[in-house]
């Protein structure tokens, strides 16, 4: 997706999170997808994350993360949902003022994902979308991830989330993630780490099939893999879940 489309999705998914929280019958409801958090913690987390990346994009320094002085205060102040909206707006303004190919620091330097503003925006779409779904689930109104978010989310998680973890600590393996509404992506796991769609051929030891949105939620630990159709060695999926340990 182009940067304007990513910006729109960040805006929409962040608003969806706030809409769910505003509709909560119990403001302090626990969040099943993040068991240690209540709804307030979830809002505070996403707002702090968005403020962090707004500074990263604005600073435009690819050599390292911003210093603490540049980050400023990222704790909620005043009305929580208004503070959240302001957090999102800071990120959107920073992205609008930059370009997709502008260099920027990011924590996934060990992966094959680029260190650019476009890659940050792409990741922030997933951050906002998964947490919006967390909020919806907490208030009993869970909705599917938007199709375009879900289809890109499989590859984004495998490239960035898994690709940044370093050496795979188990027997080398390949996993195919086959979306019924999108492409199939192959994850190669070896002492070299996790690689998305390697050029060299090879059969997967396990294939996971299902809607792209369900694949994303399984990768993020929101639903169990056994909710999907699995063909092959299920133990590899257990190992991947333990290793990637998404929050």
Q: pLDDT of 54-83, one tens digit each? A: 999 999 999 999 999 999 999 999 999 999
Rounded CA-CA distance 51/228 in Å is 35
Radius of gyration over every alpha carbon of the chain, rounded to an integer in angstroms: 18
Q: Name residue 186's beta-bridge partners.
A: 176
Domain 149-244 has CATH 3.30.1050.10: yes
Domain boundaries, the chain: 3-138, 149-244
DSSP 156-213: HIIIIIITTS-S--SS-EEEEEEETTS-EEEEEEETTEEEES-SS----SEEEEE-HH
Helix (H, G, I), strand (E, B) or coil at 227: helix
Q: What is the pLDDT of residue 236?
A: 98
Predicted confidence (pLDDT) at residue 27 exceeds the cutoff of 90: no
Domain 3-138: assigned CATH number? 1.20.120
Q: pLDDT of 154-210, one tens digit each? A: 999 999 999 999 999 999 999 999 999 999 999 999 999 999 998 877 899 999 999
Same fold, 3-138 and 149-244: no
Q: What is the pLDDT of residue 246?
A: 56
Q: pLDDT of 95-146, one tens digit each? A: 999 999 999 999 999 999 999 999 999 999 999 999 999 999 999 999 999 9
> Model-level pTM greater than 0.85?
yes
């Amino acid at each position: 997706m182009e940067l304007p489309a990513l910006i729109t999705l960040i805006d929409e998914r962040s608003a969806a999170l706030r809409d769910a929280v505003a509709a909560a019958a119990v403001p302090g409801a626990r969040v099943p997808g993040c068991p240690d958090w209540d709804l307030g913690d979830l809002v505070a987390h996403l707002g702090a994350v968005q403020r962090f990346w707004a500074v990263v994009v604005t600073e435009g320094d690819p050599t390292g993360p911003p210093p603490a002085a540049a980050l400023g205060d990222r704790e909620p102040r005043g009305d929580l949902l208004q503070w959240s909206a302001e957090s999102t707006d800071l990120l959107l303004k920073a992205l609008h003022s930059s370009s997709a190919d502008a260099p920027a620091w990011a924590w996934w330097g060990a992966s094959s994902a680029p260190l650019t503003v476009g890659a940050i925006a792409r990741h922030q779409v997933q951050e906002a979308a998964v947490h919006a779904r967390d909020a919806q689930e907490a208030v009993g109104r869970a909705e599917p991830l938007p199709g375009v978010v879900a289809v890109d989310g499989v590859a984004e998680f495998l490239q960035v989330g898994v690709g940044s973890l370093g050496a795979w600590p188990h027997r080398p393996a390949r996993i195919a993630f086959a979306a019924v509404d999108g492409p199939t992506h192959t994850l190669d796991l070896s002492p070299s780490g996790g690689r998305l769609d390697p050029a060299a051929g090879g059969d997967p030891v396990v294939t996971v099939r299902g809607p792209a949105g369900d694949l994303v939620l399984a990768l993020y630990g929101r639903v169990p893999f056994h909710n999907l159709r699995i063909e092959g060695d299920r133990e590899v999926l257990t190992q991947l879940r333990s290793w990637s340990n998404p929050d």
